[in-house]
């Protein structure tokens, strides 16, 4: 068992990001057993859940004439439009059926209809906190290991934000998988390295 100051953050291991899901990430299912096993090593395990209301502004279907993977300009900057996914209470939003969910905290994000939230720490305006920072700090947690989906979006944004907040962050690429939209994977790896995230 690792030190009490260490936590495992399991990002968005939900049906819609796995095989057969609305926004399936290649290789998403395959990392479930390894993540389950890794949970045994950590005294603190936190799971995140992408959790959008129907008609969310990140859905292409909410913008007439737009298609998934198109870009639009939002008040907070550029936003990729996604297929409808992880709608609150839907099967797609549920955790992968084989994932262990006996962690300490489930943090939901993306519930504001007007703002997407890739990061487990801040919505995509980079200002509105999810509350995770306070949770970790009040538990005395300083070291984070991140796994899950998708490597180039929610894992990337979570890792970079955590590093900026002063946490020591490791991303396990063997227990993560990427979407790779238009070079996003390479950009994410470079961005995480530049932010001081350990990529192993």
User: Where do contacts with ligand VGL occur on this chain (CB under 6 A)?
Assistant: 12, 17, 50, 82, 118, 149-150, 153-154
Nearer to ligand VGL, 44 or 150 (CB): 150
Nearer to ligand VGL, 141 or 188 (CB): 188
Q: Could you confirm whether 18 is annotated as catalytic? A: no
Restricting to residues 43-72, which ones interact with Zn ion according to CB under 5 A?
50
Catalytic residue among 12, 16, 29, 84: 12
* Total of chain residues touching Zn ion, rule CB under 5 A: 1
Residue-by-residue DSSP string for 27-75: TTGGGHHHHHHHHTT-SEEEEEEE-BPTT-TTBGGGSTT--TT-EEEET
Please state, in angstroms and rounded to a whole number, the distance separating the CA atoms of residues 87 and 84. Answer: 7
Do residues 92 and 16 make contact, with C-beta atoms less than 8 angstroms apart? Answer: yes
Q: What three-state secondary structure class fits 193? A: helix
Do residues 108 and 41 make contact, with C-beta atoms less than 8 angstroms apart? Answer: no
Helices 156-164 & 184-194 angle (0-180, nearest 10): 20
9 binds, among ligand VGL, Zn ion, none (CB under 5 to 8 A by kind): none
Tell me the residue number closest to Zn ion, measured at CB: 50
Nearer to ligand VGL, 5 or 90 (CB): 90
Q: Could you confirm whether 154 is annotated as catalytic? A: yes
As a residue count, the chain comes to 200
Is 84 near Zn ion (CB under 5 A)? no
Catalytic residue among 109, 116, 152, 161: 109
Q: Could you confirm whether 109 is annotated as catalytic? A: yes
Restricting to residues 115-134, which ones interact with Zn ion according to CB under 5 A?
none
- Please give the positions annotated as active site: 12, 109, 154
């Amino acid at each position: 068992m690792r030190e009490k100051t260490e936590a495992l953050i399991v990002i968005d291991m939900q049906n819609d990001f796995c095989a057969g899901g609305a926004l399936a990430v290649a290789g998403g299912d395959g990392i479930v057993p390894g993540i389950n096993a890794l949970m045994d090593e950590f005294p603190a395990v936190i799971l995140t859940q992408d959790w959008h209301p129907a008609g969310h502004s990140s859905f292409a279907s909410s913008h007439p004439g737009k298609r998934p993977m198109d870009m639009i300009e939002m008040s907070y900057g550029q936003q990729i439009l996604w297929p409808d996914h992880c709608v609150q209470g839907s099967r797609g939003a549920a955790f992968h059926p084989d994932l262990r969910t006996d962690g300490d905290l489930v943090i939901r994000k993306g519930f504001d209809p007007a703002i997407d939230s890739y990061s487990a720490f801040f919505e995509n305006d980079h200002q509105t906190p999810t509350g995770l920072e306070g949770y970790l700090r009040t538990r005395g947690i300083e070291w984070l290991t991140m796994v899950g989906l998708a490597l180039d979006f929610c894992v990337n944004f979570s890792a970079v934000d955590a590093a900026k907040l002063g946490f020591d962050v490791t991303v396990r690429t063997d227990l993560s998988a990427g979407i790779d939209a238009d070079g996003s994977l390479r950009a994410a790896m470079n961005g995480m390295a530049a932010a001081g995230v350990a990529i192993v």
